[in-house]
Amino acid sequence: MKEWKSGREALAQAAKGQVCFVFGERRQETASLLDLLEEPGCSRPEEAIDRAFGTSIAGARALCVLSASSAGVLSRISDLGCGGGILFLLVGQEDAPPADLRPLAQQLELPLLTPAVPQDCASLLGEGFALSGKIAAPVLAEVGPWLLDAASMVEFPQGQSASLLDYQRESGRFVRLPGAEKQKIQLAERRKALLSWLEVSPCVTRKGEGETGLIVTGGMAHSVPQMERLAVLQLGMGWPVNLEEIRRFSQSVEHLYLLEKGRYLAPILAEAGIPVEPGLPWAPEETISPDLPARPPQLCPGCPWRGVLYTLKKEKASVFVESGCLSLGAGLLMKGVDGCGAGSPLALAMGFAASRPGKAGKTAALLTAQGWERCSFAQLGDFSSSRIFAVVLEDAAQPAQLTPQQVARAMDIPIVEADSHSLSQIRDGVRSCMARPGSVLILHGSCAAKEESLPAHRVDRELCTGCRQCLRMGCPAISFPEHKSAIDPNCCAGCGLCGEICPVKAIQKGEKA
Ligand code: SF4
Ligand code: SF4
């Protein structure tokens, strides 16, 4: 029976049908899937990986949800075998460019499945565990954030449960021993099993007939427009590449094109002598409707970070942020961020302050409660004796395992607290932190996208003097037509911050609908 499911729901339902143990790393990008899987998750990827690996050694199946940005940690176990199957779901970040995991999979010699639509999610676990069992090694699957949200009719395969396998201590299989012959044999057997699996792999599908052929890698399927006489070869596996299947496909069409994220497959096809024509067989405007506006790179109306970014800008502080939507504070309307690094902004801010001691007391690192919780003891120790301060958002809609207060108290870090929608509290909090480096300002607020909006505010045009103060709040709901401010009622989230800075109180609370 077919059911309407999002990719996230399809994965969660399939996991329940697979009788597998679920583990995960709790990050912003993995949280919603872990919630559906009823798994609290660990704060560190190493812990989630080790729990899954231990489960597999014991002979059971393990599903482990990780952030795609943590995939490199898998190198620590990639050359070991597994008992029961292990499937690592690698979830991409919403606000970061998608990482190409294919080179990593090749380097680790672990197969990478690339589901493209919710139906693929419904069958992913069955295929992934079957492959993991066949090659006696973990299997990776790349899941983009858009796939978790995309919904369509799906059908769940039946009868894929598994029983606990026997356990035997096998050091060369589960423990890395330098030069162990058994391990080399194990890797050679894995390669052989993978090649034989490729020949019968269900991960390559051909759709349509025509003289024009298009090879599409997973995750790009949604970019293919409906076209007549177009034959599509959808690759559901990022690595290894099924060159024989691609060669057969290329011989069945006159013109061959390639649609892939990044540039991994193109040089492999060129080296294999498979001719691919440049570009795509359609004009670019056929893929994206010009009627769909792109999301402007600005903080949302009602964003809980807006007040503190505004205040830090007024205080002429240097601001470093975690990657993710917080980096939108660098957008044109706010221009309130100096840098966004690869890891914790604490390290970035401390690096900045070390080379600019004059700015040290006015250097801030902004991070989510999850990012704050992920900081190592050593990093928090360095921070507490540094000349910078931190601002952490405690978002009730996205709680971390430890509250920001618990993390700070464990490290003797002084705490100041403020409501994210009260400019006066934020100003007092920021000033107190600037006077006491190594302290943290904990903001209470919720992501505007996850919270129900308050009634929209409105500008009394009789009172408005056109001073433009409110525009400095950088809110996309505020415009300035005919020399006075106006608030778009469909966009305003009713946070009230702009009203706090209007010198003549021209911005007023709206009525409840
Ligand atoms: S109250 Fe003001 S700052 Fe808040 S969302 Fe509405 S327009 Fe933007
Ligand atoms: S701050 Fe107040 S007076 Fe100034 S432009 Fe905005 S609404 Fe008008």
Condensed to tens digits (0 to 9), the pLDDT of residues 381-418 reads 999 999 999 999 998 877 888 999 999 999 999 999 99
Q: What is the helix (H) or strand (E) element at residue 65, kind and residue range? A: strand 62-67
Q: Which domains does the chain have, with CATH numbers?
A: 2-199 (3.40.50.970), 204-282 (no CATH), 306-445 (3.40.50.970), 458-508 (3.30.70.20)
- pLDDT over 50 at 290, yes or no: no
| Sign of torsion over alpha carbons 302, 306, 310, 311 | positive
pLDDT surpasses 80 at 202: no
Distance between CA atoms of residues 75 and 83, nearest Å: 18
Residues 380/413, Cβ–Cβ less than 8 Å: yes
User: Residue 179 in 3-state DSSP?
Assistant: coil
CB 7 within 8 A of CB 147: yes
What's the gap in Å between 509 CA and the centre of ligand 1?
A: 10
pLDDT at residue number 287: 47
Beta bridge partners of 155: 2
Least confident range of 137-151, 454-468, 482-496: 137-151
Pairing relationship of beta strands 458-459 and 507-508 according to DSSP bridges: antiparallel
pLDDT-based confidence at 292, cuts 50/70/90? very low
Instruction: Report the nearest-CA residue for atom 6 of ligand 1.
Output: 492
Which of 66, 16, 34 is CA-nearest to residue 399? Answer: 34
Tens of pLDDT along 46-55?
A: 888 888 888 8
284-288: Cβ within 8 A, 24+ apart: 286/225, 287/223, 287/224, 287/225
Residue 463: pLDDT band with limits 50, 70, 90: very high
Question: What is the DSSP track for 34-92?
Answer: HHHTT---BSSHHHHHHHHHHHHHTT--EEEEEEGGGGGGGGGTTTS--SS-EEEEEEP
Residue 457 Cα, ligand 2 centroid: separation in angstroms? 13
Q: Per the structure block, which two tokens stand in for 413?
A: 């870090």
Would you say 393 and 450 are in contact if contact means Cβ atoms under 8 Å apart?
no
According to the model, what pLDDT value does residue 170 have?
Answer: 67
Whether residue 358 has pLDDT greater than 90: no
Q: Is the CB of 493 under 6 A from ligand 1?
A: yes
Residue 402 vs residue 441, higher pLDDT: 441
pLDDT at 322: 87
CA atoms of 469 and 463, how far apart (whole Å):
14
Model pLDDT, residue 161? 64
- Give residue 472 CA to ligand 1 midpoint distance, Å: 11
- Residue whose Cα lies nearest atom 3 of ligand 2: it is 464
Contact 32/67 with Cβ under 8 angstroms? no
Per 3-state DSSP, the chain is made up of helix, strand and coil in percentages (nearest 5) of: 40, 20, 45
Residue 507 Cα: closest atom of ligand 2? 7
Look at the chain and count its residues.
513
Q: What is the pLDDT of residues 91-139, one digit of tens each?
A: 998 766 667 899 999 999 999 999 988 898 998 988 899 899 889 899 9
Name the CA dihedral angle for 187, 193, 195, 196, rounded to a multiple of 10 degrees. 170
Q: Which one has a higher pLDDT value, 163 or 459?
A: 459
In this prediction, residue 321 has a pLDDT band, given cuts at 50, 70 and 90, of very high
**Which residue among 502, 505, 508, 509 is best mutated to probe the pocket of ligand 2, counting the most ligand atoms within 8 A of its Cβ?**
502
Q: Do the beta carbons of residue 45 and residue 67 sit within 8 Å?
A: yes
Pick 49 or 428 by higher pLDDT: 428
pLDDT of residue 453: 74
Predicted pLDDT at 291: 47
229 CA → ligand 2 middle, Å? 59
Lookup: tokens for 163: 């029983």
Confidence class of residue 286 from pLDDT cuts 50, 70 and 90?
Answer: very low
pLDDT given for residue 51 in this prediction = 87
Checking if the pLDDT of 162 tops 80, the result is no
Model pLDDT for residues 223-275, shown as the tens digit of each residue: 776 677 889 999 988 999 989 899 999 999 999 999 988 889 999 999 999 99
Q: Which 3 state secondary structure label does DSSP give 411?
A: coil
Among 15-24, 75-84, 169-178, 272-281, whose mean pLDDT is lowest?
A: 169-178
Three-class secondary structure of residue 436 per DSSP: coil
Categorize the per-residue pLDDT at 289 as very low, low, confident or very high, splitting at 50, 70 and 90. very low
The response to whether residue 464 sits with its C-beta less than 6 Å from ligand 2 reads yes
Per-chain mean pLDDT for the chain: 86
The 10 Å Cβ neighbour count of residue 233 is 24
Rounded average pLDDT over 55-62:
85
Are 29 and 93 in contact by the 8 Å Cβ rule? The answer is yes
**Position 80 pLDDT exceeds 90:** no
Rounded-to-integer distance, Cα 508 and Cα 384, Å: 41
Q: Please state the ipTM of this predicted complex.
A: 0.92
Assess contact for 283 and 305: CB atoms under 8 A.
Answer: no
What would the mean pLDDT of 436-464 be, rounded to a whole number? 90
Taking CA atoms, 69 is separated from 53, 99, 149, 206, in Å, by 19, 8, 19, 31
To test the pocket of ligand 2, the residue of 423, 462, 468, 497 to mutate (highest count of ligand atoms within 8 Å of its CB) is 468
Residue nearest to ligand 2 atom 8, measured at CA: 464
